[in-house]
Amino acid sequence: MTPPPAQQYEQRFIEAAPGVRLWADATGDRDATALLLIMGANASGLAWPDALVARLAGHHRVLRYDHRDTGRSTRAFAERPYPILDLATDALAVLDGFGVNAAHVVGMSLGGMLAQLLLLDAPERVRSATVFSTGALEVDPPVAGAVELPGPSEEVLAMWEHLGEPRDRAAEVAFNVEHWRLLSGADRGGEFEESEFRALEVRIRDHAGHDDPTVAHALADASNLARGAELAQVRTPTLVIEAPLDPVFPPPHAAHLASLIPGARVVTIPRMGHALPSAVLPALADAILAHTTEAERGCRS
């Protein structure tokens, strides 16, 4: 978890709401423009690879954090259920906790949906947005003639039925490594190294201090996400990265999301699925940094 010595590093706990503490860390020059990483459902902030964080931290102060009910953050859903919307306000609490007025926001999967909520509800806090392996906020009621988007693959849905089952550490790690294999699109040529994801799973459990499965976000109220029609109001520079082998949000999800946000661009990263193997990180970092650089030029012009 320790970044290269040349990069400034700190970690802290942030009070996000009464009784809710979030673990977070920051890597990079404290005077650099902040970049906030928002991970997907039920995933610790450590799912953002250190190699990606280090690459981004060469240009930004990179913030990542554990969602509530993941990693070292407060686990409270069983006693005090909360809606998905609270996870978006948690992201703002992380910015507040580090004294950041506005940041570039990068979101994966559910994190991409939370980024969309920030674009709608707190646009002054978002310098630019980059989202990937995600879908657009729902439109309710559906628009007549709208494109019919594919859902998750049958293999992924079958695995999700067993997410919350109790397992010992060895079985839990093995289950999640297989989950990552499916998510990566390995069966269709996606990038995947078993040893890499096995090490990630062990590290995440060591970080959290327990081996319990995490399913809170799958149970949280998601009714507040039906705001896709409002995306037409967004004026923040937005990049949508298409992962062509994503079995959860396969094409044309990326193109559809970009079509809802004025001026949004789409960049495709070949052989990328719903995971972050080391093989895709250089292209992913390059796409993010090109976007944040362009957005900052636009702010100065």
Q: Domain with 205 in it: what CATH number?
A: 3.40.50.1820
**Does the CA dihedral 138-287-182-206 come out positive or negative?**
negative
Q: What average pLDDT does range 33-62 have in this prediction?
A: 98
pLDDT, residue 5, reads: 47
| Cβ neighbours for 142, distance < 8 A, ≥ 6 positions apart | none
Q: What average pLDDT does range 172-181 have in this prediction?
A: 97
* Residue 208 forms part of a structural domain: yes
Q: For the chain, give the mean pLDDT.
A: 94
Which pair of tokens denotes residue 228?
């896709």
- Is the predicted pLDDT of residue 6 greater than 60, yes or no? no
> Of the listed 217, 253, 274, 291, which one is catalytic?
274
* Residue 186 forms part of a structural domain: yes
Number of domains in the chain: 1
- pTM for this entry: 0.95
The count of C-alpha atoms lying within 13 angstroms of the C-alpha of 187, restricted to the half-sphere facing its C-beta, is 11
pLDDT, residue 7, reads: 76
pLDDT tens sequence across 129-161:
999 999 999 886 665 456 789 999 999 999 999
Q: What average pLDDT does range 66-88 have in this prediction?
A: 96
* Residue 192 forms part of a structural domain: yes
Is residue 109 among the annotated active site residues? yes
* Residue 2 forms part of a structural domain: no
* Residue 229 forms part of a structural domain: yes
3-state secondary structure of 135: coil
* Residue 155 forms part of a structural domain: yes
Provide the pairing of β-strand 20-27 with 103-108.
Answer: unpaired
Write b or e for each residue in 262-296: b if 16 or more Cβ atoms lie within 10 A of its Cβ, otherwise e.
eebeebebebbbbbbbeebbebbbebbbebbeebb
Q: What average pLDDT does range 198-219 have in this prediction?
A: 94
- Orientation angle between helical segments 169-183 and 194-208, nearest 10 degrees: 130
pLDDT tens sequence across 193-202:
999 999 999 9
Is residue 246 among the annotated active site residues? yes
Amino acid, single-letter form, for residue 40: G
* Residue 22 forms part of a structural domain: yes
> Of the listed 109, 128, 153, 184, which one is catalytic?
109
* Residue 179 forms part of a structural domain: yes
> Of the listed 25, 69, 90, 246, which one is catalytic?
246
Query: Which residues constitute the domain of residue 103?
Result: 9-300
